[in-house]
Amino acid sequence: MNRDESLHKEKLERIERKSDVMRHYSGEPPHCVMCGESRLICLSIDHVNGGGTKHIKKIGGGGSTLYSWLRKNNYPKGFQVLCMNCQFVKREMNQEVRPRLLKEYE
């Protein structure tokens, strides 16, 4: 296998892993539990009770590290699938928004 092929395979595996996790938390097809958005690229795992950034730091990275971690830990409770927009809305409502962003709204 040449380099391009193995990069391609790696990417496919990453997408596969992501959709597996999403499917587990939201059903088939994977979708945002708030608005129903189902384009995989827009979806992400949300920590229901917040504190996501801290957790991701603790397990040593974001994105695909989190997906592997969830799989390895047998899909623990406390996570849900949200699209980027709903993540943002939720963060806004929970006041998890960083002070800099808040300032921009004022």
Write out the residues near Zn ion by the rule CB under 5 A. Answer: 32, 34-35, 37, 83, 86
Q: How far is the CB of 37 from Zn ion (least distance, A)?
A: 4
Given the complex with Zn ion, which of 32 and 66 has the nearer CB atom?
32
Least distance from Zn ion to the Cβ atom of residue 43, Å:
8
Count Cβ atoms within 10 A of the Cβ of residue 83 and give its class: 0-12 exposed, 13-18 middle, 19 or more buried. buried
Q: How far apart are CA 31 and CA 23, in angstroms?
A: 8
Single-letter amino acid code for the residue at 17: R
Q: Which is nearer to Zn ion, 84 or 101 (CB)?
A: 84
